[in-house]
């Protein structure tokens, strides 16, 4: 293990110890258990998705370093077809509409839900263009490397956090928000796995 990696792991451990110490002294020793319960209800879904993303980030970081050592990180292994790239855009649009329809059918649609839809759709559209199209190109003309596939998965694992951020800034998280976050990651992850499988 390189010194840089050891330092990164050391800092992660120190941060975790300090965070746990703060929680113990502030909430338990300070007799603020009711406040802690309210915070947990609000932040727990966000924290779970955050831990999932950080785990994926750590794994991807080590995987990218391994590919760099083997000089295969930038090796093109996937050559997308125009038809599948069009379907990729359609999947993004469909998922965006589903995220919006969940609160609509529950009769709780708000500006936050609309913002969630635009945040998801906008983020994925920008990445879609970056992943498949050269600058200024109107047709998909980019091959996909192992490193790009790895980064693609990292972005997908961050989608629940991206979708939940507008809620966290404006209201307490609820069950529908969690469902919307799951809708953001699950079909997108399955679709991209199928996408790469079809082209491999």
Say if residue 42's pLDDT is above 90.
no
Residue the block writes with tokens 């082209």: 199
Q: Which of 78-82, 96-100, 126-130 has the lowest mean pLDDT?
A: 78-82
Q: With beta carbons less than 8 A apart as the criterion, state whether 131 and 76 touch.
A: no
**Residue 145, H or E segment:** strand 144-145
Q: In degrees rounded to 5, what are phi and psi of residue 188?
A: -65, -40
Mean of pLDDT over the chain: 83
Instruction: Identify which of 162, 166, 160, 164 has the alpha carbon closest to the alpha carbon of residue 183.
Output: 160
Q: Which of 67-76, 87-96, 112-121, 151-160 has the lowest mean pLDDT?
A: 67-76
Residue, of 28 and 183, whose pLDDT is higher: 183
Q: Tell me the three state secondary structure of residue 77.
A: strand
% of the chain beyond a pLDDT of 70: 81
Residue, of 51 and 125, whose pLDDT is higher: 125
Say if residue 149's pLDDT is above 70.
yes
Six token digits for residue 51: 């831990």
pLDDT at position 33: 62
Say if residue 73's pLDDT is above 80.
no
| pLDDT tens per residue, range 14-24 | 777 776 776 66
Q: pTM for the whole thing?
A: 0.77
């Amino acid at each position: 293990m390189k010194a840089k990696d050891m330092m990164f792991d050391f800092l992660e451990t120190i941060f975790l110890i300090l965070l746990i110490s703060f929680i113990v002294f502030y909430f338990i020793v300070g007799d603020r258990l009711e406040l802690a319960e309210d915070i947990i209800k609000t932040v727990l879904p966000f924290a779970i998705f955050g831990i999932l993303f950080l785990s994926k980030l750590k794994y991807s970081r080590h995987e990218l370093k391994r590919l760099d050592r083997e000089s295969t990180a930038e090796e093109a292994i996937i050559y997308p077809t125009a038809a599948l790239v069009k379907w990729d855009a359609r999947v993004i649009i469909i998922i965006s509409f589903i995220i919006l329809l969940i609160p609509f059918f529950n009769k709780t649609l708000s500006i936050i839900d609309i913002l969630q839809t635009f945040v998801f759709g906008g983020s994925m559209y920008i990445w879609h263009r970056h992943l498949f199209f050269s600058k200024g190109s109107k047709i998909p003309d980019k091959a996909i490397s192992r490193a790009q596939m790895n980064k693609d998965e990292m972005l997908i694992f961050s989608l629940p956090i991206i979708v939940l951020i507008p809620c966290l800034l404006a209201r307490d998280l609820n069950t529908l928000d969690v469902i919307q976050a799951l809708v953001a990651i699950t079909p997108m992850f399955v679709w991209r796995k199928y996408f790469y499988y079809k082209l491999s």
